Amino acid sequence: MNKETTIYDIAKDLGVSPTTVSRALNNHPAVNENTRKKIFDAANKSGYQSNVFAANLRNKRTKKIGVIVPRLNSSFQSSVLAGMEKVANDSGFNLIISQSLESYEKEVSNALTMFNSRVDGLLVSIAGDSENMDHFTPFLRKGIPLLFYDRIADYSNTAGITIDNFQAAYNATKHLIEQGCKKIVHVLRSTKNNVYADRLRGYKYAFLENEIPFNPDLVIFTDLIEEKGEEIVKQILKMNPLPDGLFVSNDSFAANCIRHLKLEGIRIPEDIAVVGFNNEAISRLVEPNITTINYPGYEMGELAMKNLINHLENPSEGMLHNTNKITLRSELIIRASSKKK
Task: Report the predicted TM-score, pTM, of the whole model to 2 decimal places.
Answer: 0.79
321 band by pLDDT with thresholds 50, 70 and 90: low
Residue closest to 245 by CA, chosen among 203, 278, 280: 203
pLDDT, tens only, 247-296: 999 999 999 999 999 999 999 999 999 999 999 999 999 999 999 999 99
pLDDT averaged over the chain? 90
Query: What would the DSSP string read from start to end of 56-101?
Result: HHHTT---EEEEEES-SS-HHHHHHHHHHHHHHHHTT-EEEEEE-T
| 22 compared with 53, residue with greater pLDDT | 22
Contact 147, 160 (CB under 8 A): yes
35: enclosing H helix or E strand: helix 33-46
Contact 139, 146 (CB under 8 A): yes
pLDDT at 88: 96
pLDDT, tens only, 105-126: 999 999 999 999 999 999 999 9
- Which whole number is the average pLDDT over 292-311? 95
pLDDT, tens only, 66-90: 999 999 988 899 999 999 999 999 9
Q: Is the pLDDT of residue 172 over 70?
A: yes
Domains of the chain: residue spans and CATH: 7-50 (1.10.260.40), 60-162+297-328 (3.40.50.2300), 165-295+332-338 (3.40.50.2300)
pLDDT at 158: 83
56 band by pLDDT with thresholds 50, 70 and 90: low
Q: Is the pLDDT of residue 54 over 70?
A: no
